[in-house]
Every structure is written in structure tokens, then in C-alpha cells.
Amino acid sequence: MNMILGKRHIILAALVLVLGIAVYLNWTFGGKEGGFSITDQLETGKNYGDAQYVDADADTEENELEVNAAGSTFFSEARLTRQQSRDNAIDTLTQMFQDSSLTEEQKSQLAVKAAGVAEAIETEGKIENMIKAKGFSDCMVYIDGDRVDAIIKTNGLLKEEVAQITDILISETGALEENISITEAQ
């Protein structure tokens, strides 16, 4: 028993020593402000991790910015429109649910519809993130019952990419392949 207690004390002392060294190193290298100052090394208006074009032609860069801005505008407007239509649908469901003349069966049907809308929102977000993880810069997914539509920002889809996107849509929604639509947007 005495031997086990001795080993525990040695381990505890070693951990305290390592923690003390870590605190000392943090204090030494952290400086007076309490941390590393990476932002002092960055130019103003730049973000850490931003992409930087090397040996790019200025005209090409401007054209790419215009095309990206147009594509971003489309996806921004589409997201805004989708959110507004969902908000209207949820408001309508809420107003109907608060109607005192509804029977319990009608209220339960409304609750099922509201749960379906919430599930569609969650699934669409998950699918969009999975598609973006495949290397696409932006996308939108619409789920309407058994129909799934995906709009992908790309300059052209390869057969393998279409197969990957279709696989994601089928695995996440359970939709049939004939009920899936993939549209390219630039």
C-alpha cells in the first residue's frame, strides 16, 4: 500500500511540474498583452488565411471577381427568398395552430407539417454542407416532399461529380433518382 501511494505522489509531482513549465512558457512567450499578436503582422483589410493570387493577370482577376460576385448574388438572393417563403409558411402554420376552432386531429396534422418543415430545413443544410465539402464553392438544395432539387455553383459538372451529388441526395433524403434534379449555376 505504501509503495502505491509513493508512485501516485511521483506521478502527481511530475504532472504539477509539467503544468508549471507550460504556464511559464505561456507567460514568457505570450508577452505583456497575454498572447501572440498575429494580427500585427497582417496588412490592414486582409484576413488571416485569405487566398492570394500569384502572377495573376489583373484583367483576369477582375473578371473572376465579377463572375464570383454575380454567382454569390444569385445564391444570396435564393437563400433570402427561401428563408422568406419558409417564414411565411411557419407564420401561417402558427396562426392556424392558434385557431381555437380546430379539432385536436387538425392540430396534430399541423404539428406534423411543422415538424416536416423543420426536418426539411435541417436536411437541406446538411446536404449543402456535404456538397460543399466535396469541393464546390456554393450550392442550394430544395426539398419538397419526395422531390429534391440541387443548384450547384460550377463551371461544368463531370459525371463523377454528378454521381457523388446524386449519392448524397439519395442517402440523405431517400428520394428516388428520377425525383432528383441537379442544375449548374455559374
pLDDT tens figures, 154-168: 888 888 988 999 999
Question: Is residue 16 in some structural domain?
Answer: no
- 182: how many CB neighbours lie within 10 A of its CB? 18
CATH code of residue 111: 1.10.287.4300
Would residue 126 count as lying in a domain?
yes
Predicted confidence (pLDDT) per residue in 13-24, tens digit: 888 888 888 888
Structural domain total, the chain: 1
Is pLDDT at 136 greater than 80 in this prediction?
yes
Cα(121)–Cα(38) distance, rounded to whole angstroms? 38
Give the residue carrying C-alpha cell 430544395: 142
Domain membership of residue 173 (yes or no) is: yes
In angstroms, rounded to a whole number, what is the distance separating the alpha carbons of residues 169 and 127?
7
Length of the chain: 186
105 domain residue, yes or no: yes
pTM > 0.85: yes or no? no
Contacts (Cβ under 8 Å, ≥6 apart) of 166: 177, 180, 182
Q: Which residue has the cell 464546390?
A: 136
Determine what percent of the chain is predicted with pLDDT higher than 90. Answer: 3
Is residue 73 included in any domain, yes or no?
A: yes
The pLDDT, as a whole number, for residue 88 is 82
* 174 located within any domain: yes
Q: Is 37 helix (H, G, I), strand (E, B) or coil?
A: coil
31's CB contacts (< 8 A; 6+ apart) are 37
**Bridge partners of residue 9, in order along the sequence:** none
Strand order in the sheet with 139-144: 139-144, 147-153, 180-185
pLDDT (average), residues 118-133: 88
Residue 50 included in any domain: no
In a domain, 94, yes or no: yes
Structure confidence at residue 7 as a pLDDT band (50, 70, 90): confident
- Amino acid 97: pLDDT: 74
Domain that holds residue 143: 58-185
pLDDT per residue over 19-67, tens digit each?
888 888 877 776 555 554 444 444 555 555 555 555 544 444 455 544 4
Query: Taking all residues of the chain, what is their mean pLDDT, rounded to a whole number?
Result: 77
pLDDT of residue 56: 47
